Amino acid sequence: MSQLIEISDPADPRLADYRDLRDVELRKHLEAEHGLFLAEGEKVVRRAVEGGHAARSFLMAPRWLEGLGDVLDRSDAPCYVVSEALAEQVTGFHVHRGALASLERRPLPSVDSVLTGARSVLVLEDIVDHTNVGAIFRSGAALGFDAVLLAPRCADPLYRRAIKVAMGAVFSLPYARLEDWYDALPQLSAAGFTTVALTLADDARPIDEAVAGLDRVALVLGSEGHGLSARWQQAADRRAIIPMQAGIDSLNVAAATAVACYVTARR
Amino acid sequence: MSQLIEISDPADPRLADYRDLRDVELRKHLEAEHGLFLAEGEKVVRRAVEGGHAARSFLMAPRWLEGLGDVLDRSDAPCYVVSEALAEQVTGFHVHRGALASLERRPLPSVDSVLTGARSVLVLEDIVDHTNVGAIFRSGAALGFDAVLLAPRCADPLYRRAIKVAMGAVFSLPYARLEDWYDALPQLSAAGFTTVALTLADDARPIDEAVAGLDRVALVLGSEGHGLSARWQQAADRRAIIPMQAGIDSLNVAAATAVACYVTARR
């Protein structure tokens, strides 16, 4: 059962996990070094804990204690009870969804293990925006995908903003980090997946035709800025496009992913 | 031809249009009162001007002048040339895409005029998040929709953040504001549209079945928080859902819109 500890000094060292949450670079460093991540909001905190992540601590104003009562009852981590003003002072932003939790990262599963039994997977090359990563996880989970593979430079799904946008889908949709960028797609093909790259390339076929009748599919998505690398475009088994109106450059990567997942799930 | 005017005093009254861009409430008030809006980034500024909006002024650091040279050549509005530090000081954020422009709003067209000739329209009830409004315009434009109708409380598509996320689609996709919320959908039905409400209601049919074979379609979307109002759900001709995995609450409204637009465009 979580022990409630009132804290009124913003410099209290027990609040270290929650400091300066808006400073992306600082947080990346701190979270990697200490193997932690932050969850925000009652629903997301609950899903993180139910997803098997051990809490290091909780932080919230008194009015959020009741809603998370059952989660706190089952946890041994301390719950720091603070005023909303102090929460804002420590984190650097107005915590309008109330509760925060600092949780322990777990070792990521291997690529092989997340692919076992999977029929539809997403492969993200260099998606660097946490909002996009979160949105892609949310759509993938909702539309029936089984796993996500991340290229070495893809943004961290356990970054606070990604978790929030994903509405916790980062805890339910298994994912792994690819170690070998160069040969990642041929290795997926060898594992029995047809790799389908979403691209604006001239030889791309409409997505519904590209996935029709396929068994195991790996849908491959590139970065929001420059799209897929030349290597991955060439290495993919098929290239697919979402047909668009003349004169429009492209869809946002999260919107394109939602459409592609919907179509692929119904292949 | 735009006159280049160097400014080094952050308090210069000519910079009034650009002040405190991160203060949403202040900006809403100021922009409504003065009939202006702000565009950010070379591509978006260009599209705003090409979309027929007269510039009141431009604001940029020297290194962005060349890229917008042709736009400045064709404009009579002054271009305030400032250091990047001064731009940040005045606007309140780091203007990493460089150019800003303050442009004049135009009177919105009537609902009837944007519906003339339209076959696929989006109807947004109370979408209050500017990012979502922008994302919906971008997807709608890319996937072949002809117009957007906004309920009285839907967020402003010409707010800076919405314009940026829409990549300028707010300038190419015609839109109008509905005056009568209560009877908006029956009036659309009377105008020859089948209104299809996206909802999680029990009697909702899969979206592809709901739109199959329809001629004129109005796709009706509710707010990100609570979905469509009871009134609009009941008043719609049909209720439709994007089939999702068990245990998942919902898709993000922008992702759901992208899928629904894709399916509806191929009806």
Chain B closest-CA separation from residue A6 CA (Å): 32
pLDDT at site B25: 79
Residue B19: phi and psi, rounded to 5, are -80, 135
**Which A positions 89-108 lie with beta carbon below 8 A of chain B?**
none
Question: Could you identify the residue written with the tokens 């070094």?
Answer: A33
Contacts of B242 in chain A (CB under 8 A): 143, 262
Round to the nearest angstrom and report the end-to-end CA distance of chain B: 48
Number of H helices, E strands in chain A: 12, 12
What DSSP string describes B198-247?
Answer: E---TTPEEHHHHHTT-SSEEEEE-BTTTBS-HHHHHHSSEEEE----TT
Chain B closest-CA separation from residue A263 CA (Å): 9
Give the C-alpha separation, A110 to A118, whole Å. 13
A196 with A211: CB under 8 angstroms?
A: yes
Q: Which of B262, B263, B264, B267 to mutate to test the interface with A (most CBs of A within 10 A)?
A: B262
Question: Could you identify the residue written with the tokens 């997403």?
Answer: A122
How far from chain centre, in Å, is Cα B264? 20
Which of A116-120, A163-167, B97-101, B173-177 bottoms out in mean pLDDT, i.e. has the lowest? B97-101
State the alpha helices, DSSP H only, in chain B.
24-34, 42-50, 69-73, 84-91, 111-115, 130-142, 160-165, 169-172, 184-190, 207-211, 230-235, 253-265
pLDDT at site B92: 87
Residue B48: phi and psi, rounded to 5, are -65, -45
Quick check: A22 pLDDT over 90? Answer: no
A15 with A59: CB under 8 angstroms?
A: yes
* Beta-carbon contacts of residue B145 (< 8 Å; ≥ 6 apart): B120, B121, B122, B173, B219, B261, B264, B265
Contacts of B263 in chain A (CB under 8 A): 262
Give the C-alpha separation, B54 to B73, whole Å. 13
Q: Does domain A4-104 have CATH number 1.10.10.350?
A: no
* Beta-carbon contacts of residue A259 (< 8 Å; ≥ 6 apart): A207, A242, A251, B143, B258, B259, B262
Contact with chain B for residue A249, Cβ under 8 A: yes
Contact with chain B for residue A5, Cβ under 8 A: no
Task: Give this complex's ipTM.
Answer: 0.87
Interval A72-107: pLDDT, tens: 999 999 999 999 999 999 998 887 777 999 999 988
Interval B117-162: pLDDT, tens: 999 999 999 999 999 999 999 999 999 999 999 999 999 999 988 9
Amino acid identity, residue A178?
L
Q: How many CB atoms lie within 10 A of CB A169?
A: 25
Tell me whether residues A258 and B263 touch, CB distance under 8 A.
no
Quick check: A249 pLDDT over 70? Answer: no
Tell me whether residues B144 and A245 touch, CB distance under 8 A.
yes
* pLDDT tier at A178, thresholds 50, 70, 90: very high
Nearest to A129, CA basis, from A253, A261, A257, A260:
A253
Positions of chain B with pLDDT lower than 70, given as ranges: 249
Interval A182-191: pLDDT, tens: 999 999 999 9
Token pair for residue A44? 């997301």
Domain ranges, ordered by start, for chain B: 4-104, 111-265
Question: Could you identify the residue written with the tokens 């060898």?
Answer: A190
DSSP state of B108: P
pLDDT at site A33: 74
Question: Could you identify the residue written with the tokens 């910079």?
Answer: B15
Helix (H, G, I), strand (E, B) or coil at B255: helix
pLDDT at site B211: 97
A157 with A218: CB under 8 angstroms?
A: no
* pLDDT tier at A29, thresholds 50, 70, 90: confident
Token pair for residue A260? 């592609």
pLDDT at site A221: 96
Tell me whether residues A262 and B242 touch, CB distance under 8 A.
yes
B4-104 with B111-265: one CATH topology?
A: no
Give the C-alpha separation, A262 to A184, whole Å. 24
Chain B closest-CA separation from residue A242 CA (Å): 9
Which of A82-96, A110-124, A141-155, B212-226 bottoms out in mean pLDDT, i.e. has the lowest? A82-96
Residue A26 or A215, more confident: A215
Nearest to A162, CA basis, from A206, A130, A128, A129:
A130
What count of Cα atoms within 13 Å lies in the side-chain half-sphere of residue A165? 24
Contact with chain B for residue A165, Cβ under 8 A: yes
Contact with chain B for residue A246, Cβ under 8 A: no
Percent of chain A with pLDDT over 90: 79
In this complex, the residue of A135, A142, A245 whose CB is nearest that of residue B142 is A245
B221 with B251: CB under 8 angstroms?
A: no
CB pairs under 8 A between A and B: 79
pLDDT at site B67: 92
Pick the CATH number of A111-265 from 3.40.1280.10, 3.40.50.150, 3.10.200.10, 3.40.50.970: 3.40.1280.10
Give the C-alpha separation, A155 to A175, whole Å. 13
Nearest to B38, CA basis, from B87, B73, B1, B5:
B87
Residue A125: phi and psi, rounded to 5, are -75, -95
A170 with A144: CB under 8 angstroms?
A: no
